[in-house]
């Protein structure tokens, strides 16, 4: 789901409205991830990096007996998520790098968040420690950072016209499914890891720019002052339009994602 920015040097302000422009497309990986979580009647479910909360609300619908908590580091996202809050569903501010549950949870979900945490594989033991024996840790991260959408962004950001402002912005990254499988198997989990490339068919003007400006490009764009941002956006839009030309059905955006579902071993 949302790219909740956790970079240490430049704090990015996320905009739920921009992010939700493609809510349907962004919800598909969340549904595909949760379809492989076999928890039947969990008592406590946590969405770590919940964004605007609409997908967290589906967790309360799936598991009507669970208390569901959404955690996000963006105040704007948490404020927007409050519209979904209810007796069994609440939202709080928190940082994935330091968040610890009050007690072990039954299901811990993180959707399109960990890619913003440098060396996030080192966090997996701590995240798993917050899951009870027999419980579930499930997350998905983008795996499209070599695609033109990102390659063009970083090449342009490195241009001398912009480099002084963009040098310290967050740059997301992720490992492959085999890496996460090895990490969590070594921690004693039964692991299901896979990848999927979605072909999102987008419509309207500058659709790929509108998509990435709400997520991966936002730290770069926000780091620029108004005149340079306008120039950067104009050049970036043109490059994206050339890399992703419209077809008969619309503009196709290939988007690879990496999924991991791990069940924590029950102690003998």
pLDDT of residue 266: 77
218 pLDDT band, cuts 50/70/90, is confident
**Count: domains in the chain:** 1
Domain, as residue range, for 81: 16-143+171-199+253-264
CATH number (domain holding residue 193): 3.40.50.150
Classify residue 205: in a domain, yes or no. Answer: no
Express each pLDDT in 131-177 by its tens digit.
Answer: 999 999 999 999 999 999 999 999 999 999 999 999 988 889 999 99
Question: 11-20, 102-111, 139-148, 241-250: which has the minimum mean pLDDT?
Answer: 11-20
pLDDT of residue 72: 95
Task: Dump the DSSP string for 154-187.
Answer: HHHHTSTTTHHHHTTS-------HHHHHHHHHHT
SS3 call for 91: strand
Of 169, 13, 129, 139, nearest to 76 by C-alpha is 13
Classify residue 248: in a domain, yes or no. Answer: no
Express each pLDDT in 22-67 by its tens digit.
Answer: 567 888 999 999 999 999 999 999 999 999 999 999 999 999 999 9
> Is 268's pLDDT higher than 80?
no
> Is 217's pLDDT higher than 90?
no
pLDDT of residue 215: 81
Q: What is the DSSP letter of 114?
A: G
pTM of structure: 0.90
Classify residue 125: in a domain, yes or no. Answer: yes
Cα–Cα distance measured from residue 55 to residue 208, given in angstroms and rounded to the nearest whole number: 22
> Is 186's pLDDT higher than 70?
yes
Average pLDDT, the chain: 91
> Is 7's pLDDT higher than 50?
no
Instruction: Give the alpha-carbon dihedral of 53, 24, 109, 181, to 10 degrees.
Output: -160
Classify residue 215: in a domain, yes or no. Answer: no
Q: Note whether 67 and 43 are within 8 A (CB).
A: yes
Tokens of 190: 């039964």
- The angle formed by the CA atoms of residues 10, 1 and 173, to the nearest 5 degrees, is 50
Classify residue 193: in a domain, yes or no. Answer: yes
Residue 199, strand partner residues? 254
In order of 124, 234, 263, the CA distances from 179 in angstroms are: 12, 38, 16
Site of tokens 């939700």: 20
Classify residue 182: in a domain, yes or no. Answer: yes
Classify residue 61: in a domain, yes or no. Answer: yes
Burial class (CB in 10 A: 0-12, 13-18, 19+), 18: middle
Q: Note whether 260 and 193 are within 8 A (CB).
A: yes
Classify residue 87: in a domain, yes or no. Answer: yes
Express each pLDDT in 197-214 by its tens digit.
Answer: 999 999 999 999 999 988
């Amino acid at each position: 789901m949302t790219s909740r920015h956790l970079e240490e040097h430049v704090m990015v302000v996320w905009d739920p409205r921009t992010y939700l422009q493609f809510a349907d497309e962004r919800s598909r990986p969340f549904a595909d991830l949760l379809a492989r979580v076999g928890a039947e009647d969990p008592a406590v479910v946590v969405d770590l990096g919940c964004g605007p909360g609409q997908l967290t609300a589906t967790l309360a619908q799936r598991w009507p007996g669970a208390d569901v908590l959404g955690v996000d580091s963006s105040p704007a996202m948490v404020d927007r998520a409050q519209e979904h809050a209810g007796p069994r569903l609440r939202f709080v501010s928190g940082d994935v790098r330091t968040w610890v549950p009050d007690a072990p949870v039954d299901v811990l979900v993180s959707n399109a968040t960990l890619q913003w945490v440098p060396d996030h594989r080192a966090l997996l033991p701590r995240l798993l420690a917050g899951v009870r024996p027999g419980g579930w840790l499930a997350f998905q991260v983008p795996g499209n950072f070599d695609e033109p959408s990102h390659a063009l962004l970083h090449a342009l950001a490195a241009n001398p016209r912009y480099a002084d402002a963009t040098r310290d912005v967050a740059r997301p990254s992720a490992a492959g499914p085999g890496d996460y499988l090895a990490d969590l198997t070594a921690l004693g989990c039964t692991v299901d890891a896979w990848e999927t490339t979605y072909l999102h068919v987008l419509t309207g003007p500058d659709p790929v720019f509108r998509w990435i400006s709400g997520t991966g490009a936002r730290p770069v764009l926000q780091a620029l002052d108004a005149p340079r941002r306008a120039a950067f956006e104009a050049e970036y839009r043109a490059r994206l339009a050339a890399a992703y030309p419209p077809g008969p059905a619309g503009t196709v955006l290939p988007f690879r994602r990496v999924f991991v579902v791990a069940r924590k071993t029950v102690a003998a």
